[in-house]
Each structure stands twice: as C-alpha cells, then as structure tokens.
Amino acid sequence: MNPVGADAVTGGADGWPDGTFTNPVLAGFHPDPSVCRVGDDYYLACSSFEYFPGVPLFHSRDLVHWAQIGNVLDRPGQLTLPVDMPSSAGVYAPTLRHHDGRFWLIVTNCADGGGTLVCTATDPAGPWSDPVRVPGVDGIDPDLAWDADGTCWCTYAGIAQVRLDPETGRTVGPVRRLWSGAPGAQAPEAPHLYRIGDHWYLLIAEGGTERGHAVSIARATRPDGPYEPGPANPILTHRGTHRPIQNTGHADLVQGPDGSWWLMLLGVRPGGGTPGWHVLGRETFLAPVTWVDGWPVVGDLAPVMPAPPWAAHPVPPPPVRDDFDADRLHPRWVSVRSRPAEVWSLAERPGWLTLRARGASPDAPDVTFVGRRQQHPSCRVRTVVDPGDGHGGLVVRLDERHHYDIEAGGGEVRVVARIGSVRSTLATRPVGAGPVRLGIEVVAPAPGDWHPAKEPDLLRLGVDRPDGTFDVLAELDGRYLSTEVAGGFTGRVVGMYAARGAVAFDWFDYEPR
Ligand code: 6LW
C-alpha cells in the first residue's frame, strides 16, 4: 500500500449533515492526540497531566465521531501522581500504535520519577498492562516505530532516537540526535516516525505549544537518518493569522477508510478580546493531507470542514444526566491526582455518588473531586447535593489556584472564587437542611460582541429555586479560568467535590448550549 500521490479529499458522502463535519473532533482538554488504525477501527489517546485515571482512550469508525472506551492508566499501580506534584506535570503526550497483534502505548509520567513508560493491551478498552519503565529514554513525547526486521525505534523530543526492546524497556545502542527542526525555532518535539512508500517520514512539532506552534516534516531512507527537511516547512501553522483555531501543532498522521491521508493535531480556540483566552484547553482537530512530490501537504483546517468521502459513523452523544445508578463510574469521570476507594462510593447510598473529603477545599492538591472536561463554549451544569453534616458542591477548575466553586453546607450556599493568590467568598444564601440544587452556566459571548478587553465567557453560579428559576449568586469573568491566565497544559474541568465530611450527589447534568 503506497498512498503517496493519493488525490485530494473532497465532497461528501452518507450521513454527513450539509456535507460537512465540525472541528474540533474531540472538544475540550484532549491534547497531544495519537491515533492508530486497525482495519476499520481507529483508536486515539491523549495527555492527561494531573488527572486520574490517565490517558483517555477513544474509538471511531470515521475519524470524526469518537467515543471514549477507557483510560490506559486506570489503576493506582499503573499511575502514581503524588500530592506534591505541580498541576500540568504528570502524564504527558502518548504515542499509540498497533503492532504484532497488540496495542502499544508509550508515554511519560513527569511526576514520581515515573519517566518513560510502555503499556500493552490486546483490547484497547483494557485492561492495559502494568507499565514497563524505559530508563534509557530521558525526554518527553516518545514515539514507537518498527522497521521491517522488527527493530523498534523510539524517537523523542529533541529530536533524539534510540533503539528499544519495548518488552523489557531496555534501550539498545547509543542515543542519536536526528534533527532539530527549523534553525532557531524552540521546542522540537512530538516526533512520530512512519514508513510510507520508499521513505521514513519524521513528523514533528516546533515553535512551542503556544501561538507559535507548527508542524514540520523530514524524511530519510532509513529510520535512523540522515533526515532531509521537507521543502515547505512548516507544513502547518496558524501563527500570525486571525484564524479561529490557533496553536496548531503536535500532530499524528493516519489513513482514512479510503486510503486518503489525514492529520490529527492539537489546536485551541481563543475567545474574548486581546490577547485572546482559551478556556477549554488544547483540543483535537482533523485536517486532510495530500501528497505532492512525495511530501505531505496539509489542507485547510477550519471549524467547518468538507465531509470526507466515506460514510459517517455517528456515536450517540453522552447522556446529559449521569444518575449514578451504575455500579461504576464512566471512564470520562476524572479526579485530581488520585481516587482511592475510601474517598468515593456508588454503593454507600445507592443511586448517589458519595464523596468523602480529604483536602479542605478545591485549593487542596488532594481535593476529593469527580469531574469531567468542559467541552462546549456554552453549557449548563446542574447537580443535587446533600451535604449532610459536611460541605461540598460544584467547581469549575483550571487548577488549585484557579477555580470557581459553589458549595453547600452549614445551612447555606456560598460562591468562592480563587484566582492566583486571591481567594474570596463572593456571595452566600441561606438554604434549609437537606438536598440543594446547585448550578453553573457558562455563556460564551455572541459573535460580533467584541471589544479589546472583552472576556472569553461568563460563568454564572447559582441555586435552582423550587419554581424552576435559576438564582444567580455570582457572575464571573471566564478569563481567570483560562490557560493564558493560569498557565499550564490542561483546560477546564467541571465537577463535584467534598470539602468536609461525606457529601452525596444524586445526579449530575452536563448540557451543551
Ligand atoms: C507535550 C508537547 C506539547 O509533551 O506540549 O504541544 C507538551 N505539545 O509535545 C505537553 O502537552
């Protein structure tokens, strides 16, 4: 199968509304996508940083519609994220590949001396193996590629490369520098190596994961080089443009069901005035690739894209409500650093999620928290919380130092904002004993409603009154829960927490608006 020279991808086919699809294909904090194809099925993994379980794993039949089927690192024995690790440390960019009947995932845990780890699975939904450590790979963004004689090459940020026995984690021979991208560009990283036609192609990101981010390519006739840079690097960047998708980089190549080529990459959608704030983290986008004279050329990347020439395989959207009636949490629910069995239960009060406080607020690195990624610019979140003798509620968090909370306990509901070193209680409302309906509404501004200091969005935190109206206790500027303010590599996560005692939640609604 030598796809070099395949035609441009145009036109629509079955099941695509208006002959288009929408980018991002995986909205919200899903950065550093790595994708592999097995027959008609595609699998995708991304970074997870301080969240447990780590490395969410998705399945698709059409590269556009993805459903989460698990997490690679979902047992404490596979992933230690110590309480003193900083946010945005932890689990960095994975590479997911299928080789010799097994799925292989190589990834870096930047916390706890974990370093480079390899896990394998026969079923990508799990269970995944305990990690094999790779002490000889001392860098982020490891990639795995096998040549025809079965030699495994591990290529990582730098761009460096070493041969590897992935079964044992032992490296073989010296580490060699392969390429450093454009002269003077920062952070050559995110390498992926592919055998395509007569060449080995080395795809990298450079320029840093911020507005200067770019994708470049080089090729060689052997996996270990020497590498010849592409004639038109970078092959993708949105730097210096007004395009709504920015920071484009960290990409992986994949072939569609018709043999055409596609790039899955990260990008962000900044909002508000200048300099622009992105609040949903780095998201996963899909762009078409054609080949010209043996080099990949990336097509237009936009929020609305021409449908690919194969049938759509939509997946049902996740239900608005999780009523906590199942005996396990869906893989989309994440916690901060760890989720030991003693801090949460679906059985203690059947039909409710019970959380038991460790850290005394969302400021604490060991806060007992169960949440999900905010995936839509505008959305509506609701829960019923029974604080009992404790305190707990809803939080939208970027990290420990940047979050907005609405908390019930002690006969009242209060809204607390933490922005850097400033922490303030903004409103309180007396409520009776027993369960309370708490809510958060995130409202992105209407298009055209712009001024230079305009906020990217507004967050309204409040209480549902018995008559069904939403009593807003505080309306807050969303920029303080953005990456440009908080820093780091993640995005917004919204969920439930316990700050004191045992707090129970009857259900949780997340509804795109
Ligand atoms: C990742 C690097 C990057 O390891 O950001 O955007 C780092 N790319 O490749 C953290 O996601």
Residue ranges of domains in the chain: 32-231, 321-512
Q: Which atom of ligand 1 is nearest to the CA of 31?
A: 11
Over residues 249-276, the mean pLDDT reads 97
Residue 309: per-residue pLDDT: 93
Alpha carbons 282 and 368: distance in angstroms, whole number: 25
What is the mean pLDDT of the segment spanning 324-340?
97
Model confidence band, residue 89 (pLDDT cutoffs 50, 70, 90): very high
Q: What is the CA(404)–ligand 1 centre distance, in A?
A: 26
Q: Per CATH, is 321-512 categorized as 2.60.120.200?
A: yes
Instruction: Give me ligand 1 centre to Cα 334, in Å.
Output: 20
Options 2.40.110.10, 2.115.10.20, 3.40.50.10490, 3.40.605.10; CATH of 32-231: 2.115.10.20
What distance in Å separates the CA atoms of residue 37 and residue 39, rounded to the nearest whole number? 6
Binding pocket residue ranges, ligand 1, CB within 6 Å: 31-32, 47, 92-93, 140-141, 189-190, 205, 209, 249-250, 266, 489
Protein residue with its CA nearest to atom 3 in ligand 1: 209
The rounded Å distance from CA 266 to ligand 1 centre is 9
The chain-wide mean pLDDT, for the chain, equals: 95
Average of pLDDT values for 445-465? Answer: 92
Is pTM beyond 0.85 here? yes
- How many percent of the chain have pLDDT more than 70? 97
* Residues comprising the chain, all counted: 513
Question: For a substitution probing ligand 1, which of 140, 239, 265, 285 has the most ligand atoms within 8 Å of its CB?
Answer: 140
8 Å CB contact between 137 and 114? no
Q: Under 8 Å CB-to-CB from 406, ≥6 apart: which residues?
A: 393, 394, 395, 413, 414, 415, 416, 438, 439, 440, 461, 462, 463, 473
Which tens digits make up the pLDDT trace of 50-68?
Answer: 999 999 999 999 999 999 9
Which residue's C-alpha comes closest to atom 10 of ligand 1?
Answer: 92
pLDDT single digits (tens) 295-331: 999 999 999 999 999 999 999 999 999 999 999 999 9
Dig out the tokens for 84 from the structure.
């003193």
Tell me, in angstroms, the distance from the centre of ligand 1 to residue 406's CA.
32
Name every residue whose Cβ is closer than 8 Å to that of residue 1 and which is 6 or more positions away in sequence.
259
Q: pLDDT at position 12, please?
A: 43
Q: Count helices and strands (H / E) in the chain.
A: 1, 39
Residue 93 CA: nearest ligand 1 atom is: 4
C-alpha distance from residue 83 to each of 51, 276, 432 (Å):
12, 32, 35
Nearest CA to ligand 1 atom 1: 93
Q: What is the pLDDT of residue 167?
A: 97
CA distance 234 to 254: 19
Quick one: pLDDT at residue 13? 53
Which ligand 1 atom minimizes the distance to the CA of 190? 9
Beta bridge partners of 373: 493
**Which atom belonging to ligand 1 lies closest to the Cα atom of 92?**
4
What confidence score (pLDDT) does residue 442 get? Answer: 98
The pLDDT score that the predictor gives to residue 339 is: 97
Q: CA nearest 256: which of 42, 57, 99, 31?
A: 42
Q: What is the mean pLDDT of residues 163-174?
A: 98
The pLDDT tens digits for 380-427 are 999 999 999 999 999 999 999 999 999 999 999 999 999 999 999 999
- pLDDT, greater one: 368 or 183: 368
Query: Measured in angstroms, how far is the CA atom of residue 405 from the centroid of ligand 1?
Result: 29
Mutation probe of ligand 1 site: the residue of 189, 203, 282 with most atoms within 8 A of C-beta: 189
Residue 96 near residue 45, CB atoms below 8 Å = yes
Cα–ligand 1 centroid distance for 319 (angstroms): 31
Q: Is the pLDDT of residue 7 over 70?
A: no
Catalytically active residues, by annotation:
32, 189
Give 106's DSSP letter.
E
- CA 140 to ligand 1: nearest atom: 4
204, HSE (Cβ side, Cα atoms, 13 Å): 30
